[in-house]
Amino acid sequence: MTLPLVLQATHAWFRKNEPKNLLLPFFSLLTIPGPVAYFAYSISSEWTVAASVYPLFVATLLASIAIYRLSPIHPLAGYPGPVMCKISKMWPAYVAYHGKLHHYYRALHNIYGPIVRVGPNELSIIDKDAIPFILGAHGMPKGPLWEGRQLTPPRVRPPTPNGLINVRDFRRHAQLRKPWNKAFGSVPMKDYEDIMIQRAAQLIEHLHRIVQKSPSRQGHIDLAKWISFFSFDFMGDMAFGGGFELMRDGDKDGVWAAMEQALFIPSVIQHIPWMADIFGAMPLVGANLRKFGAFAVTQATLRSKANVQKRDLFYYLLDATDPDSTTDPFRLIVSNAVLAIVAGSDTTSSVLSNIAYYLLRHPQYLNQLTSEVDGCFPADEDTAIDTSKLSSMKILNAIINETLRLQPAVLTSLQRAPAKDSGGKLIGDKFIPEGTAVIVPPYVLHRHPQYFSPRPDDFWPERWILAENENEKTKHNIVLDHTAFVPFSTGPANCAGKALALLELRYLTVMLVREFDMTFEGGYSADTWERGLEDRFVVKKGVLPVVLRLRKAAQAQG
């Protein structure tokens, strides 16, 4: 009877205590059966009998946990979902390994409905009425998934979180968010805009040079790569006061490649965060993670010591921080360096690349946008782009919104969980017990026909324009629910840099359309692009082969 009692006690303990790292469960499973093994040896005098206690204990414990998670007494027993997901988060981690978690979640919701159990203690919800209770002002703090996304080395992580992206305490998040709100106010935004315009001009200059050097006056480029380099250089200026020249020098130091590779491990381990430190420490598996983390620390160190000539993000963050705060400037910078690098470059570059893809895939919209751009900023007059006009360009913003709907920068991983010691959270008429994580996958939500129809899977920018007129909306049976449109998240933990991101999307799209005629490279299958997109928390993209021609030269020839 001793082993069953030990098993019951161990199972009860693991039910209430989610492990924070691998060391605790490993140590527990190694030591807890010890007295039972010793008792078995004292009776049989056989080490083999005693040793058999350990695998028997582990196997029985795992079976007991699996049976409980599938049983009707589990708190989430009433929610449908695949058996593999109910038993363990190892299965979603396996799906995430292949980069197609957004497709998997969508398939599950198509089968099971608006609420799906995607883990032993996790739900995926695409009911827009639940969003305010999950992500909104009266929602929940971030969930355990964020603990598996740590890219900063443990040695430089402060005991009190200074990083906005992964802090899970509501009050601490509110404290950290105030400086960010000030850092994206009207005065800082003007400084960021000036930096962005300079970098956009540099991109256009490089692309012009590629076209002009070609005997055929056609530039054959990977447009996604050039957009990525632009975004990274701009981010370096905006956040760290400069230092990156990928457009000029290429990725000679492998910085961009390291960032994309470093995001692979967290995109998988975020589902089993208690294994994060173990994977990060493994010599081969964690090499890219450590390399990118070290790069972020290096940039934070340089920025904390620099005499910055231009007022950048960290200038405003430090300026907005409470002067009586004990926050070490270096700690604040290093804690937010990864957020600044990834959110300031990878997210916008993926959306910009998807905008270019959809315009090339649907040239009728490229033609419409070209006409709108020419009407606002005639190319033959070298009219400067007035950024104040960009937000009122209907076709431009419809194209951007439709891209953000179909391919948001964060495809799935908006996770929240009831606050610690709260007991749980009421979401509408459903009570979510403490210890349960809730995820809202924008990719799935944005394609739900109940909120976006007709043609929820099609690139159809007109839906955003027609929906503004009630008669047209009724005529075309358009459903467009803005409350279900969350490409920048929503609530107190939404994207702090949303205004800057939209400005960057609008400005660069206009610049590219104004300067170049663009087509896919001959023989390129457009389906390749979407097949190659991977959910790595942010979107990992492939090659976008494009042929560029100068529009002014074409007009002169005409």
Per-position DSSP letters for 96-130, written without gaps between them:
HHTT-HHHHHHHHHHHH-SEEEEETTEEEE--GGG
Percent of the chain clearing pLDDT 90 (strictly above): 57
pLDDT digits (tens, 9 = 90+) for 523-539: 999 999 999 999 998 89
- Written as six digits, the tokens of 43 are 């009776």
Strand partners, 489: 487
Q: What is the predicted pLDDT for the residue at 246?
A: 94
Query: Which of 303 and 483 is assigned the larger pLDDT?
Result: 483
CA distance 403 to 351: 7
- The CA–CA distances, whole Å, from 124 to 172, 264, 416, 457, 498 equal 26, 22, 10, 20, 25
Q: Does the pLDDT value for residue 22 go beyond 80?
A: no
In degrees, to the nearest 5, what angle opens at C-alpha 104 toward C-alphas 18 and 449?
115
pLDDT beyond 50 at 1: no
Q: What pLDDT is recorded for position 556?
A: 46
Instruction: Give residue 314's pLDDT.
Output: 86
Burial class (CB in 10 A: 0-12, 13-18, 19+), 439: buried
Over residues 310-369, the pLDDT tens digits come to 788 888 887 776 555 555 677 777 778 888 888 888 899 999 999 999 999 999 999 999
pTM of the predicted model as reported, rounded to 2 decimal places: 0.90
- Per the CB < 8 A criterion, the answer to whether 241 and 310 are in contact is yes
Point out the annotated binding site: 495
Q: In what order do the strands lie in the sheet with 122-125?
A: 115-119, 122-125, 437-440, 414-416
Contact 253, 229 (CB under 8 A): no
HSE, side-chain direction, 13 A CA sphere, residue 329: 14
Higher pLDDT, 13 or 360: 360
pLDDT at 47 over 50: yes
Higher pLDDT, 54 or 246: 246
553 pLDDT more than 50: no
Average pLDDT over residues 138-161: 69
Average pLDDT, the chain: 86
**Tell me, what amino acid is at 65?**
I
Rounded to an integer, what distance in angstroms lies between the CA atom of residue 177 and that of residue 175? 6
Give pLDDT tens digits for 273-312.
877 666 666 666 667 777 787 888 888 888 888 776 678 8
Residue 227, token pair as written in the block: 């957009």
pLDDT digits (tens, 9 = 90+) for 391-436: 999 999 999 999 999 999 999 989 999 998 899 999 988 999 998 9
Residues annotated in the binding site for heme, as ranges? 495
